[in-house]
Copies of this chain bind each other. A is one copy, B any other.
Amino acid sequence: MKLVDIAEVCERSGLPPSTLRYYEEIGLVESVARHGLRRQFGPEITLQLALISLGRSAGFSLGEIGAMFARDGVPKLPRDALHAKADDLDAQIKELTTLSNALRHVADCPAPSHMECPRFRKLLNLAKKPRRANKHIKASKPA
């Protein structure tokens, strides 16, 4: 049989049952049956949860993730929207790379004050670029 008990899903994903119930409540995933009271999920659930986890770590809200993929994990967005998301991601990857480099530089640079090290400043100035609204980092209200 292809159904996966919630306990099994929790074990595989590392998520507690409460989170699974919550995800179902907000329509992010779907349980397909019950065994007694216990939710049973389809075999794709593990992959879906991995996708959600990935999206979360990219800073997408559950709402955004829900808007991207249907309950069964199949993407609902048009091609250009997907490409746009990917572009956002790539921009974010650049920022993280900057931060990673900055951290490594700080770890290794012998300068007494990093704020005065030109190389460090240069790295960080990259970060001040056109900051777009980045989900959980909301822009200030308009003047």
CB distance from A68 to the nearest CB of B (A): 8
Q: Which residue of B lies closest to A81 (CB)?
A: B107
Q: Which residue of B lies closest to A73 (CB)?
A: B115
A14 at the interface (CB under 8 A from B): yes
Give bound CA distance, A131 to B10, whole Å.
Answer: 14
CB distance from A8 to the nearest CB of B (A): 14
Contact between chains at B106 and A82 (CB < 8 Å): yes
Give bound CA distance, A117 to B72, whole Å.
Answer: 14
Contact between chains at A74 and B15 (CB < 8 Å): no
Contacting chain B: which of A23-31, A33-41, A44-52? A44-52
Q: How many residues of A contact B (CB 8 A)?
A: 59
A98 CB contact (under 8 Å) in B54, B85, B137: B54
A54 CB contact (under 8 Å) in B57, B85, B127: B127
Give bound CA distance, A57 to B132, whole Å.
Answer: 11
Top 10 nearest A-B pairs (CB, nearest first) are: A82-B107, A89-B100, A86-B103, A16-B140, A79-B107, A50-B127, A86-B100, A54-B127, A54-B99, A50-B128
**Which A residues are within 8 Å of any B CB, using their own CB?**
10, 14-16, 19, 44, 46-47, 50-51, 53-59, 72-75, 79-80, 82-83, 85-86, 89-90, 92-93, 95-104, 106-108, 113-115, 121, 124-125, 127-128, 131, 134, 136-137, 139-141
